[in-house]
Structure 1
Amino acid sequence: MNKFSHIDLRVNHLESVMPFYEALLPELGFTRTFHSLNWKVYAADGELPSAAYFAITEDREHKPNHNMIGFWADGQAEVDRIAKLVKENGGTINDGPRLFPISPTYYAVYFEDPCGNKYEMVHRLN
């Protein structure tokens, strides 16, 4: 059983980051929405509450830090595609996409959303 349940993410300006997440999250498999007044929720396939989901809320005092959320890619082409999507939708590429010396097949891109939350998209064979 995959123990992952959900992410509750804070952003400092919801309106400015939503175009970024509306483009990114469906590409990562979070294709269903369950929005409320204070939360924008994107769920993966499966029945709630057991389906993985990504929830975003505004906190004007939020300050990004060094925490990072990582996602698996099916291959290097998916890492490249996500990097392009990030750049086209207001995100920042911090490094990559490229091979990293973590292992001979560790191909990743490190990026941030428009308010500075950090992510990694990685493909790795071993």
Structure 2
Amino acid sequence: MNKFSHIDLRVNDLESVMPFYEKLLPELGFTRTYHSLNWKVFAAEGELPSAAYFAITEDREHKPNSNLIGFWANDRDEVDHIAKLVQENGGTINDGPRLFPISPTYYAVYFEDPCGNKYELVHRLN
């Protein structure tokens, strides 16, 4: 059983990052939205509350740090696709997409959202 439930993400400027997340999150499987005034929620398939979801709220004092959220990719093409999407929508590529010496098949891209929150998308076979 996958124990993942949700992510509650803080950003320092909700309005400026929403176009980025509106493009990124559906590509990662968070295709349904449940937005309120203070929270923008993107949910995966399944019934709430058990469906995984990604919730974003604004905290003007938020300062991104070294924390990193990682996602699996189905294949290298998906890693390349997401890297292009990040670049086209205001994100920053920090490294990749490329093979990393973690394992012979570890193909990943490391990136940040427009306010500096860090992510990784990885495909690996072993």
Q: TM (normalized to structure 1)?
A: 1.00
What amino acid maps onto 1:15 in structure 2? Answer: E
Aligned to 1:18: 18
Aligned to 1:85: 85
What amino acid maps onto 2:29 in structure 1? Answer: G
Aligned to 1:34: 34
Q: Secondary structure at the match of 1:2?
A: coil
Equivalents in 2 of 1:93, 1:37: separation in Å? Answer: 30
Match runs of 1:1-126 below 5 Å: 1-126=1-126
What amino acid maps onto 1:107 in structure 2? Answer: Y
| Cα deviation 1:4-38 (Å, max 9, x = unaligned) | 00000000000000000000000000000000010
Q: Secondary structure at the match of 1:119?
A: strand
| Cα deviation 1:60-107 (Å, max 9, x = unaligned) | 000000000000000000000000000000000000000000000000
Q: Once superposed, which parts of structure 1, at least 4 consecutive aligned residues long, lie more than 2 Å away?
A: none
Aligned-pair identity in percent equals 89
What amino acid maps onto 2:44 in structure 1? Answer: A
Equivalents in 2 of 1:40, 1:31: separation in Å? Answer: 12
Equivalents in 1 of 2:13, 2:62: separation in Å? Answer: 9
Number of residue pairs aligned between Structure 1 and Structure 2 = 126
Q: Secondary structure at the match of 1:29?
A: coil
Q: Secondary structure at the match of 1:120?
A: strand
Q: TM (normalized to structure 2)?
A: 1.00
Which runs of no fewer than 5 residues in structure 1 stay unpaired?
none
